[in-house]
Homo-oligomer: A and B are copies of this chain.
Amino acid sequence: MASIEMIVAARARLRGHARRTPLLSSPFLDEIAGRRLLVKAECLQHSGSFKFRGGWSAVSGIDPELRKKGVIAFSSGNHAQGVALAALMHGIPSVIIMPSDAPKLKIANTRAFGAEVVLYDRANEDRDEIGAKLSAERGLTLIKPFDEPLVIAGQGTTGLEIAEQAEEEGVKNAEVLVPCGGGGLSSGIALALEASAPGFRVRPCEPENFDDTTRSLASGKIERNASLTGSICDAIVTPQPGNITFPILKRLAGQGVVVTDDEALRAVALAFSRLKIVVEPGGAVALAAALFHGDQLDSDTAIVVTSGGNIDADVFTTALERFG
């Protein structure tokens, strides 16, 4: 099981390797949100998303003899890049299984990080099955994207930083809005905050029609998404909450917040003009939730994680043309 002790240990392994991303703000965004907003710009992390933390945590946590054989991961893109870069920096091989409709930039970057990329059809093939087979054949260690304690611990280091940085800003109570796919980042941050900032509460944020975590939190049991394609927020579309992550969220998180694709794109445009950061739609859903669904929040301060910035130029241009 993931725990605060594992998160603290992951922080020690990540020191000097992961970036301590800044906590940004803008009076213009505060005005739209109707409360104070602090933005944890995790899109500035190595590999362009928080996934580098989990990737590094997992790769550095494997037994050295086993690690030499390499690692394998399946991912819509950000986990891929995080694991590939962590493997490259450890000098070991990586194999990444990616959906064939993943953004071109993510596929290209994953290859550039030295990974062997295996593409699959998101609608008709089972990535777990492909991963298990390759893993067995080559002796690779499978690094799951979220339902893996070492990965959750790595993502949780984001929460330790949020607690420290918010304290520097004098914030004692806040809702912490986190983009949520399988729940690795949300659950990791929730565990970190439980220990280090008890006045903070995680609120998972999801795109419309892919709100499995929000529905699962409402019903108290794991619910699945009806579809896995058709969202612009590709980075955070997963079949269902994880078996490890969901119980953590059920115990510690508040209700989910759901945003539309247009709201996510509007948040991308506002992050451009007001924060000077590049955020991908899936990474912008928590910012969109704070900006456009403030009626579902309680606290005077909302801390928002912008979890990734690996967006193709044409999608970014569309966001600016429509909402810039």
**Partner-B contacts on A (CB < 8 A):** 19-22, 24, 27-28, 41, 43-44, 48, 105, 109, 112-113, 269, 272-273, 275-279, 309, 313, 316-317, 320-321, 324
Contacts and interface: CB of A to CB of B under 8 A. Distances in A.
Contacts of A317: 317, 320-321, 324
Contacts of A28: 109, 112
Contacts of A20: 22
Nearest to A313: B324
A245 to B, nearest CB: 26
Contacts of A43: 276
Nearest to A321: B317
Contacts of A272: 278, 313, 316
Q: How many copies does the complex hold?
A: 2
A311 to B, nearest CB: 9
Nearest to A24: B44
A272 B27 CA distance: 23
A278 B269 CA distance: 11
Given A44-B277, A48-B276, 20 more contacts: A19-B22, A19-B24, A21-B22, A22-B44, A27-B113, A28-B112, A43-B276, A44-B275, A105-B273, A272-B313, A272-B316, A276-B277, A277-B277, A278-B278, A313-B321, A316-B320, A317-B317, A317-B320, A317-B321, A317-B324
Contacts of A279: 276
A178 B57 CA distance: 36
A317 B269 CA distance: 12
27 contacts: A19-B22, A19-B24, A20-B22, A21-B22, A22-B44, A24-B44, A27-B112, A27-B113, A41-B44, A43-B276, A44-B277, A48-B276, A105-B273, A269-B313, A272-B278, A272-B313, A272-B316, A273-B313, A276-B279, A276-B309, A277-B277, A278-B278, A313-B320, A313-B324, A316-B320, A317-B320, A317-B324
A287 to B, nearest CB: 14
Nearest to A312: B324
A93 B316 CA distance: 37
A37 to B, nearest CB: 14
